[in-house]
Amino acid sequence: MTFERRRNAVRTPWIRQFHEPAADGPTLVCFPHAGGSASAHFSLSAELSAAAEVLIVQYPGRQDRLAEPVVEDLRQLADEATHALLPWQDRPLALFGHSMGSLVAYEVALRLERLGRPPLGLIASGHAAPSVPPSVMVHALDDEHFTGHVAELAGTPPELLTDKHVLALALPSLRADFTAVETYLDRAGVKVGCPISGYCGKQDGSIPPDGFGTWADYTRGRWTPRLFAGGHFYLQSREHEVARFIRQDLADFTAPAPTAQP
């Protein structure tokens, strides 16, 4: 199915596709951070469209889905995102998630495996592994301290946090996302069959020292750590570099398995 036919045929509020892929590459599904929307990855999609078909998940309760109820359960987010991806499961899928999106992407990977459509690979960015508990329950803070913590992460436009009207619209989805992340803990440690690449800012103080490397325990395949200059939202200033490594990972994910030596 061509790009235009697929985009016209598939109508779901969960998936955005901003750019036509220039080549017949894999499909990369992007999962935004807590409080984030699909537009957060618009420019990354433009960077990657020559190498992949880029889909971006749009969570409810923000932008054009503002009137919809927010979701405070991370596994429910994964359930619904997986269902929305069913029309693309005839194609090889790779998953990229940043911050909260890493956890959602991991849960989606598990669901795709159960459906017999395992992903090519998972790129987990800006978050500790699923078994690592949060150090602070931010979602339980009052509005003043909650917005202060969000501001410290430096990923939300300051004008959003200082404009009372805009903040009132954004707070429900922000708080719901933090609730979803902080009430989620995967103690089972279920491994995915696909390789995992981990991306992290070198100055990201939100991830415990051992929390990033623990992702290696979540794959039966290859684990590849990649570090970038910057903090939790390193990808905002390192987007060209991030896109280059994503393209490299996609090539590695789709490379034929080495032939066993006799």
Which sequence positions are flagged as catalytic?
99, 232
Q: Which two tokens stand for residue 24?
A: 């017949």
CA separation for the pair 232, 155 (Å, rounded)? 8
Residue-wise DSSP of 147-178: HHHHHHTT-S-HHHHH-HHHHHHHHHHHHHHH
Q: What is the rounded distance in angstroms from the CA atom of residue 93 to the CA atom of residue 25?
A: 10
Contact between 199 and 242 (Cβ < 8 Å): yes
Q: Could you tell me how many residues make up the chain?
A: 262
Residue whose C-alpha is closest to residue 115's, from 149, 90, 143, 148: 90
Q: Find, among 87, 126, 120, the residue nearest to 104 by Cα.
A: 126
Q: Which of 185, 1, 202 has the alpha carbon at shortest distance from 88?
A: 1
Distance, in Å, from the CA atom of 149 to the CA atom of 241, rounded to the nearest integer, reads: 27
What's the CA gap between 99 and 102, in Å, rounded? 5
Q: Write the DSSP symbol of residue 38.
A: G
Q: What stretches of the chain show up as alpha helix (H) in DSSP? A: 3-9, 42-48, 74-84, 100-114, 143-152, 158-162, 164-182, 239-254
Alpha carbons 12 and 83: distance in angstroms, whole number: 10
